[in-house]
Chain A
Amino acid sequence: MSILLEAKEVSKMFGGLKAVSNFDMTINKGELIGLIGPNGAGKTTAFNLFTGVYQPTTGVINFAGKSLKGMKPSQITQRGIARTFQNIRLFSELSVLDNVKIAYHTHLKYNLAEAVLRVGRYMKEEKRIEEAGRELLKIFKLEDKADEIAKNLPYGAQRRLEIARALATRPQLLLLDEPAAGMNPQETNELMDMIRWIRKEFALSILLIEHDMSLVMGICERIYVLEYGSIIAHGLPEEIKKNPEVIRAYLGGEA
């Protein structure tokens, strides 16, 4: 298997506070990996480092063989990392379809003059992403809500739309930040199936943060456990379940 993302001894300081330290992680092509840990362990910070929202204080992050150092989030998205947010960040006043259309941004091939003059290429490209967008919404059972305003969608549908939108950027690696938060068990089950399916269908690697252990243990092939900004364990789900360090971190007290 070839390595897609590699983080080596990454740390991030906020003032004097160490949010993440000595963080190592490898994600191979096609893998589905879980990142778990107590609240405030630095999981979302890791996502922010991978997507360029933050720059690491020390260490390197390589993606598809190239360093991500100094890149803006938009450049990293163009490289092929997409994400969702823990606190949903949709374009809430826009329609569902427009949310997805924006995500096709980097794949549109017309320039300013062509857009303003509405030449054939503009027309063709707009038509193409409109169709692609509707196609994508169909996968996420949102096709009949395409013209609704995003903020009016039920919570679960908003989470699905966020994933659809992330996929529209055509990533190689998809980062999901608590995709099942706020979902009921049935929705969570559907979500698990969907995550498995999109990984296969879109030939993706997926890294997900999740508190729902049944989901993490159910679908992840490998799991990293983060506590106080450091990886305290990583391995197969069964290994993680039995790891005394992990049990201590989650249940408190001495193992």
Chain B
Amino acid sequence: MKTISKTIIKTILSTALIGSVLISSASLTGCGEQKPASKSVYLLLDTSGTYTQELAKAQSIMNYLLATLDSGDSIAIARIDSGSFNEKDIIAKTTFDSRPSTTNNQKRVFKQKVDTFVDNLEKGSFRTDITGGILQAADFVNETQAGEKYVLIFSDLEEELQKGHIRDFPIDMQGIQVVALNVTKLRSDNVDPREFKNRLNHWQERVENGGGNWRVVNDLERLDRMFVQN
């Protein structure tokens, strides 16, 4: 009887000890933390007029995104042209594989595609359909069902629509973070700086009315501000 009780005590103590080791190990591996949400990022590149000169900066943004995103995240880069609500405007898109080695290869291929596009771009589009691009972006990020959805707009935010294109309707941006990057000032902004403010306010209003979140990051040295710190 004494031996049995001794064995039971020993077994309980062993189990408790191994359990505590397991729990402490689990806590070391981040048990206390929340499961990180997957990200979905859609980068819109303005290729209209003189803004094409800024595309080199867009490449550095893309590199930052590729370095930051991880397995399970999605990324797409599309151009803003005269009619942007179109899959043909997507330069490259991918959802990174769960295996790190495959993810690295996907990143390489992605970078290659975007570099080729930038290198081969000779002249910009005549018009700038930003709304179409945003609608396309919202569709993409919603489709990925990611926990964090971002639409990055690399543009001066001056929309010029083709005749007949209807874009003056509310856009659904529920749960999407919209970040305007490198919003350059136009020549007319210098004449009346209020135009620049009005332009920014107009887009902020449209995004926020659609349920989205609006931010502007003009300092490309601080790209870490793009993503919301959870």
- The answer to whether A and B belong to the same complex is no
Q: Which residues of A contact B (CB under 8 A)?
A: none
Q: Which residues of B contact A (CB under 8 A)?
A: none
